[in-house]
Structure 1
Amino acid sequence: MTATAVYSLLNKKENAHEDPIYSCVWTRTIDTDDPKKSQDYLVTGGLDNLVKVWILENNRLELLHTLEGHCMAVVSVAVSPDGHIIASSSLDTTLIIWELTSGFKVHEIEMGGTDVWKVAFSPTGTQVVSGSHTGKLTVYDIVKNNIDRILDTRGKFALCVAWSRSGQYIASGSVDGAVHIFNAAQGMLVHTIQAHTQLVRSVHFSPNSKLLLTASNDGFVKVFDVASGSELRKTSFKAWVLSARYSPDGSVCVRQRLLITMTVPMTDKRVLCVTVPVVASCARHRSRRGC
């Protein structure tokens, strides 16, 4: 089934970057003085060396910050669980930490020539994991500024990574279409899945950590059961899909179908906000926020 048959377009921002967009993150911050107040943001990174922060309100995107600091393409952006810190990685082998609301650069980490590709925060927000051309995943402590541990996929270039909200799992996607799932605490490889026919651009866990969303150059977005490694659903697009992510408020159960709200940065410089139904029962894949 093609995406034109199953998604509803919430917003489209033309020419969001001057060059193609490599990464996109949807996040939400909560007002500490009034927990009932929240603000949604999109953070994008592109081949123009820039990180951009967008306010998403009433289905409209407005630019808040343009963050300059990388001298080559930004290949990944990630946001801490509390929504206040951004990590961006670049082909210039640097990892930069930013404050989201102010746009202030907190610090810059030089990785010494090591390829730093996609990055993802731990649930505590104190660590990030990155993939590399060796197929190994490196976990960095951004507070202590050192390497905590290394996970070996025994595979090819790990282009993308994700850390589950439960903290139990780390997932990666490789250039050969394989997806690897690790037990984060034990450092043990749990599943190796031949998920796609071309390189995997992004992997992302559902809020309840039970589902894994993947996107690939083969034009498919797929959903896998984390416990079993089995494929639950796939949706096709007419172009490379560079990123697909669950919305921060999780999945909504409608007529015994899960609706994924995700942002999809495309190779033609657009950012699409879409909803895609995933066939699954409420009882089996109930979100922690409920259905």
Structure 2
Amino acid sequence: MYSLLYREENAHEDSIWACAWGKYEKEVKKSTENGLENEAIENEEDKEEDKKLRDFVVTAIASSSLDSKICIWDPHIGRELRNIEEGPVDVWTVSYSPDSRFIASGSHSGKINMFGVESGKQEQTLDTNGKFTLSIAFSPDGKFIASGAIDGIINIFDMSSMKLLHTLEGHAMPIRSLVFSPDCQLLLTASDDGHMKLYDVNHAHLVSTLSGHGSWVLSVDFGSDGSRFSSSSSDHTLKIWDLAQRQCVHTFTEHTDQVWRAKFHPSGEKIISVSEDKSISVYDCPL
């Protein structure tokens, strides 16, 4: 049922700390037989096929590393499309906005920096007025962005006003990861205290506390239907959980070092993970 699909060794020059799925439009055109030039398609059947190819949407991956770069990848051909050069402490984590126009990154100063995917430039900054921002997440509807800090504090911002809405407490140690449920009702967090917590977003209160890893919980993510979530840990494992039962249903052990981040594909049937071992792995996780 669960299996490894793809693994890229030494994908970065240093430890890989974050990854994200996104989308970009890829234009594909037909060429003449000799391959010298692209020509107009004469018949209606070929015109329709050409339109389908131009409209084809390909999933992209963003990754960040201690090599001071945000890299955007095409997973279908295993090639880097572009990279954004920034300072080593200001590319701590990455998250695509729901429309894939922006990549947000937490910083050592406590700020959330937002970069344009096409421009490759910093276009917006949110200040938490707190400590080192270790984790960030957009709500699926794009209305909120949440951040987790090194002191265990969680902040939730309203994206329309760019103002702070809620401050949540509950973890005693750094929050390495957080994610909204697909319906935007829950916020799931992961911490160095070895626990995961579920918060009610609207009422800003704790719903449940979960545990199961043998060390720090470094990342969490929901599947697209909200019935499953993943967690990765410094114990070298990636786990898949059933939300309703609050139980682990599968454990991946392919990585040889800390698994810093794991993200479900938008379909909910694949998941990508990155590690201290410098590798990127993609798994099949059918519903």
Q: Could you tell me the TM-score, scaled by structure 2's length? A: 0.81
Aligned-pair distance for 1:215?
A: 0.5
Give the % identical residues: 23
User: Does residue 196 of structure 2 align to residue 200 of structure 1?
Assistant: no
Query: How far apart, in 2, do the equivalents of 1:210 and 1:151 lie?
Result: 24
Segment drifting more, 176-185 vs 108-117: 108-117
Tell me which residue corresponds to 1:244.
262
Is the contact between residue 109 and residue 131 of structure 2 (CA under 8 Å) also seen in structure 1? no
Query: How far apart, in 2, do the equivalents of 1:271 and 1:235 lie?
Result: 13
User: Does residue 280 of structure 2 align to residue 271 of structure 1?
Assistant: yes
Is the contact between residue 47 and residue 73 of structure 1 (CA under 8 Å) also seen in structure 2? no
Q: SS at the partner of 2:259?
A: coil
Letter in 1 for 2:58: Q
The superposition leaves residues 196-243 of structure 1 with CA deviations (integer Å, 9 ceiling, x where unpaired) of: 120011100010111111000112211222234222222223322111
Q: Identify which of 38, 53, 67 aligns with 2:84.
A: 67
Q: What runs of 5+ residues in structure 1 fail to find an aligned partner?
A: 252-260, 278-285, 287-291
User: Does residue 18 of structure 2 align to residue 23 of structure 1?
Assistant: yes
Query: How far apart, in 1, do the equivalents of 2:208 and 2:123 lie?
Result: 36
Is the contact between residue 70 and residue 94 of structure 1 (CA under 8 Å) also seen in structure 2? no
Letter in 1 for 2:98: P
Query: How far apart, in 1, do the equivalents of 2:141 and 2:147 lie?
Result: 16
Q: Could you tell me the TM-score, scaled by structure 1's length? A: 0.80
Aligned-pair distance for 1:246?
A: 1.1
User: Does residue 6 of structure 2 align to residue 10 of structure 1?
Assistant: yes
* Residue 112 to residue 69, structure 1, CA distance change in 2 (3 Å): farther
Give the aligned CA root-mean-square deviation in angstroms: 2.5
Q: Identify which of 178, 181, 185 aligns with 2:202.
A: 185
Query: How far apart, in 2, do the equivalents of 1:30 and 1:250 lie?
Result: 21
* Residue 153 to residue 217, structure 1, CA distance change in 2 (3 Å): same
* Residue 72 to residue 190, structure 1, CA distance change in 2 (3 Å): same
Letter in 2 for 1:244: A
Is the contact between residue 131 and residue 151 of structure 2 (CA under 8 Å) also seen in structure 1? no
Aligned-pair distance for 1:189?
A: 1.1
Count residues with an aligned counterpart.
Answer: 261
Q: How does 1:27-66 map to 2 (within 5 A)?
A: 27-29=22-24, 37-56=56-75, 59-66=76-83
Segment drifting more, 221-230 vs 122-131: 221-230
Aligned-pair distance for 1:154?
A: 4.4
Query: How far apart, in 2, do the equivalents of 1:199 and 1:169 lie?
Result: 22
Segment drifting more, 90-99 vs 172-181: 90-99
